[in-house]
């Protein structure tokens, strides 16, 4: 490829051309699908996973419902905080979009004029995925797979370098995990207060649901799993 010659020995740029080259060989309808999925679809899918997990938690109504709901609230909050943290990072690095510095890329989305490092999309989806994993392993693993795929699509679309995506993954993960103890300390009492409310308690526990469920998928600090009368503690990573 002509682009590879321009990339020199930079593996980041070489990988960009290799992945983006797939878009050149794909039919136009497939590129349009990838464009939609990369811009909106995967983020929407992870949001739906968070809502599905919340619905499952409130229907199960176990003794740790408030903690689980607090963790689910933290997932989108972590994404928002991570994006705010990224603002000074992007301004400091000032890395142009790859299609501004390299010729021959198949750019599926036009009009991107902001800086490239780190990727906001990768930051958001990974922060939400890690936050969801803290609340529930099964839902979180699905979200993590979607987040990684989303990062791949950003490079496929020609709007980010691979290192932009890796940086976004690292930033989203760091914010979601490092601030999780503080977030849980603040959000759990709020969720418990909501749970006790006769008007909005259904947001945490479905009406008529008592304490139950095994909570075996929770990875929250202090989440308990009951099997055969024995209680286990499954601490978050």
The predicted structure's pLDDT at residue 79: 95
Where is 230: in which H helix or E strand? strand 230-233
Q: Residue 70 CA to chain centroid, in angstroms?
A: 17
- First-last CA distance in the chain: 44
**Tokens standing for residue 211:** 């304490």
Report pLDDT digits (tens) over 158-209: 899 999 999 999 999 999 999 999 999 999 899 888 888 888 887 877 665 5
pLDDT of residue 127: 96
Query: Residue 232 belongs to what H/E stretch?
Result: strand 230-233
Distance CA 64, CA 233 (A): 12
**Model pLDDT for residues 73-104, shown as the tens digit of each residue:** 999 999 999 999 999 999 898 899 998 888 88
pTM of the predicted model, to two decimals? 0.80
Alpha carbon distance 31, 33 (integer Å): 5
């Amino acid at each position: 490829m002509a682009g590879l010659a321009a990339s020199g020995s930079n593996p980041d740029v070489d990988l960009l051309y290799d992945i983006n080259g797939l878009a050149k060989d794909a039919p136009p309808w497939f590129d349009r699908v990838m464009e939609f999925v990369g811009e909106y679809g995967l983020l929407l899918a992870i949001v739906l996973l968070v809502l599905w997990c919340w619905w499952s938690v409130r229907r199960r109504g176990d003794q740790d419902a408030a903690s689980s709901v607090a963790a689910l609230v933290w997932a989108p909050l972590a994404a928002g905080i991570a994006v705010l943290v990224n603002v000074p990072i992007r301004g400091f690095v000032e890395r142009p979009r790859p299609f501004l510095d390299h010729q021959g890329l198949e750019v599926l989305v036009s009009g991107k004029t902001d800086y490239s490092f780190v990727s906001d999309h990768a930051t958001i989806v990974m922060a939400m995925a890690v936050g969801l994993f803290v609340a529930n392993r099964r839902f979180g693993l699905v979200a993590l797979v979607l987040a990684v795929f989303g990062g791949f699509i950003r490079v496929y679309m020609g709007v980010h370098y691979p290192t932009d995506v890796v940086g976004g993954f690292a930033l989203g993960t760091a914010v979601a995990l490092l601030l999780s103890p503080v977030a849980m300390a603040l959000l759990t009492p709020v969720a418990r207060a909501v749970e006790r409310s006769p008007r909005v308690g259904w947001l945490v526990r479905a009406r008529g649901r008592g304490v139950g469920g095994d909570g075996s998928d929770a990875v929250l600090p202090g989440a308990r799993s009951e099997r055969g009368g024995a209680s286990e503690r499954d601490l978050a990573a």
